[in-house]
Every structure is written in structure tokens, then in C-alpha cells.
Amino acid sequence: MAGQQDRFDIDFDLMSRIAANEDGAIGELYDRFGSLVYRLAYQAMPTRAEAEDAVQEIFVRLWKTAGRYDPKRSALVTWVMLISRRHLVDKLRRTRARIRAGTLEDSPQAADRPDLARDLGVEDSERFAKLMKRVNQLPELQRTVIVRAYLGGQTLRQIGEELNTPLGTIKSALSRALVRLRERVNEEPAS
């Protein structure tokens, strides 16, 4: 548990330095989460250019809201992903609203175009926040594998290579994490 407390302290310190506009602090945040945010944006946005723009906008939003980060409520990775997700959902909704207002909606290609926000399952913010809270309670390796695989879109092989961990260990961590998440969902009373 001490390791987790140390991580919370490091995360809070980083976000405090960003809120105070300390030189280099936002760069540290980008170094830690830039590729994760980009992968999420790239999966959600129709073009690479739009994904790159979204990443810049997300990090501006992270910088502007840094003073509101509370490590007691969530791990920094969870907070970054929630802000990223909210930004992408907002951006997709604005895009859909513009398309509906124009004549593109009547084009034959419009019926074939997927609803990205719905397909990503990002319409229900409350459900996503509860899930991320459960993910945050997992042991570090399990949490890392879940976040990178499901939110970052990485393959288990990529995760293993980046963490310098055998593929079998990564697969086991994913399996154990999914079992724990299912158990916690089954323990919750139906609403």
C-alpha cells in the first residue's frame, strides 16, 4: 500500500506543479500519458490530424484543470483518461451536430458511417467513472494491463514489451483483473 501512496504523492506533486505553471511540468505529464491519450484519440477520431488536434486540446484542458486533481478520488491515469474521454465525446458530439445541420446526413454514405461515441461505449459517463474507480483499485500490474489494453488499444504483446514483462505474465494479469472486476460488479446491488 505504501507504493500506491508514493504514486499518489508523486501524481499530486506533478499536478500541483502544473497548476503553478512550473517549467517542464506539463512536459512530464505528456511524457507519461501522451501515447496513451493519443491512442485513445486515434481510435475515436476519424483522421490522424483530428486525433493530433484532440491530444493537444486534451493536454491544454489537463493544464487548465490541474489544480482540481485530487489523488484521494482517483489515480492520475484514471483522471487523465476521464478528461480525455469527456473531451473526445464532446468533440464527437459537436461534429455529429454539424453533420446533422448540413446536408451530409442525407448522403448514402451517412448510413454506413459508424456512431463512434456509441461504438466506444462512452455515452454513459457515470458508468465509465464507476468502472474506472474499480480499475483503480486493482493491483498495479493488473491496472496497467487493463488501462493499456482497453483504453490505450495496445496488444498484450506490446504491453509486455514496453513493461519488459513476459507475455504469459501479462495474459495472467489481464485474466485476474477481469475476474476481479466481474466479481465486484456481481457484488454491487442492482439499481
- pLDDT for position 99: 46
Q: In this structure, what are the phi and psi dihedrals at residue 132, rounded to the nearest 5 degrees?
A: -65, -30
Q: By CB neighbour count within 10 A (0-12 exposed, 13-18 middle, 19+ buried), where does 165 fall?
A: middle
Distance, in Å, from the CA atom of 149 to the CA atom of 160, rounded to the nearest integer, reads 11
Q: Do the beta carbons of residue 37 and residue 53 sit within 8 Å?
A: no
> What is the domain-level CATH number for residue 64?
1.10.1740.10
Asked whether residue 54 is domain-assigned, the answer is yes
Which cell goes with 190?
442492482
Is 96 found in the same domain as 47?
A: yes
Asked whether residue 128 is domain-assigned, the answer is no
Angle between helices 2-19 and 25-44 (to 10 degrees): 100
Is 106 found in the same domain as 69?
A: yes
Is 67 found in the same domain as 158?
A: no
The range of the structural domain enclosing residue 142 comes to 138-191
Distance, in Å, from the CA atom of 121 to the CA atom of 1, rounded to the nearest integer, reads 32
User: Of 71, 97, 123, which one is at a domain's C-terminal end?
Assistant: 123
Give the DSSP per-residue string, the chain: -HHHHHHHHHHHHHHHHHHTT-TTHHHHHHHHHHHHHHHHHHHHSSSHHHHHHHHHHHHHHHHHTGGG--TTT--HHHHHHHHHHHHHHHHHHHHHHHHHHSSGGGSHHHHHS--HHHHTT-S-HHHHHHHHHHHHTS-HHHHHHHIIIIIS---HHHHHHHHT--HHHHHHHHHHHHHHHHHHHHHSPP-
- pLDDT for position 110: 36
Mean pLDDT for each consecutive 10-residue tract of the chain (191 residues)?
71 93 93 91 85 92 92 88 88 63 40 34 58 82 83 80 88 86 63 49
> What is the domain-level CATH number for residue 170?
1.10.10.10
- pLDDT for position 3: 63
Asked whether residue 132 is domain-assigned, the answer is no
Is 82 found in the same domain as 157?
A: no
- pLDDT for position 109: 38
- pLDDT for position 187: 60
- pLDDT for position 128: 65
Is 147 found in the same domain as 118?
A: no
Number of structural domains the chain divides into: 2
- pLDDT for position 130: 72
User: Of 123, 153, 180, which one is at a domain's C-terminal end?
Assistant: 123
Asked whether residue 152 is domain-assigned, the answer is yes
Is 16 found in the same domain as 53?
A: yes
User: Of 95, 123, 151, which one is at a domain's C-terminal end?
Assistant: 123
Q: In this structure, what are the phi and psi dihedrals at residue 44, rounded to the nearest 5 degrees?
A: -90, -35
- pLDDT for position 116: 29
* Chain length of the chain: 191
